[in-house]
Amino acid sequence: MQRDKALAIVEKQLKKPRYEHTIRVMDTSIKLAKQYGADEKKAELAAIFHDYAKYRPLEEMKRWIIAEQLPKDLLDYHHELWHGPVGALMVKREVGISDPEVLHSISVHTTGCVGMSVLDKVVFLADYIEPGRAFPGVDEVRKVSEKDLDKACWMASRNTINMLVSLNRKVYPDTFHAYNDLLNSTG
């Protein structure tokens, strides 16, 4: 699918600041894909659609989780975690994106997972470091992202876990799995 068409589809699903975030994630993903040898068109497409489901009603997302082949334990965790897995399925059904690598990157963009592909890492990291983000420690991750994809992803994952723990929030198992697995590949 052409970029303009994809952007027009996603723009209708999002509020303006979220659409602008999407454009920045797209630019950052393409840059990281070039640098680390992921498919640039796949990175572009996954980034454009990564937050597709972000503003869907919670009840609707819940229905998809119950009715479809999605991990049911998502329902025991914060609804912020639902828009990735549900979004990937919606993008497949409603938009007709069928590339499993692109859909997987959309699915895991919030938590990460074990055995992330280079494309998964590119989208996950781009979402974290896009120029509009101001998380504590993000500048350090941006710097590392120029040299070491795994380490930068691990740092993003670590910072997110630290933030969640400091706020007494639940941490989804895949978030920990990503952290542990990335730490292994960082050496």
Per CB under 5 A, residues contacting Fe ion are 51, 127
Smallest gap from Cβ 46 to Fe ion, in A, equals 11
x/- site string to ligand DGI, residues 13 to 32, per CB under 6 A? Answer: --------x-----------
Residue 29 contact among Fe ion, ligand DGI, none, beta carbon within 5 to 8 Å by kind? none
Among 85, 160, 178, 181, binds ligand DGI (CB under 6 A): 160
Residue 78 contact among Fe ion, ligand DGI, none, beta carbon within 5 to 8 Å by kind? ligand DGI
Read off the tokens for 73.
């334990």
Among residues 37 and 80, whose Cβ is nearest to ligand DGI? Answer: 80
Counted residue by residue, the chain has a size of: 187
Complete DSSP assignment for 45-113: HHHHHTTTTTTS-HHHHHHHHHHTTS-GGGGGS-GGGTHHHHHHHHIIIII----HHHHHHHHTTTT--
**Which of 42, 155, 153 shows the shortest CA–CA distance to 97?**
42
Residue 170 contact among ligand DGI, Fe ion, none, beta carbon within 5 to 8 Å by kind? ligand DGI
Query: What's the distance, Cα to Cα, between the start and end of the chain in Å?
Result: 38
Sites of contact with ligand DGI (CB under 6 A):
21, 51, 54, 77-78, 80-81, 109-111, 127, 160, 164, 169-172, 175
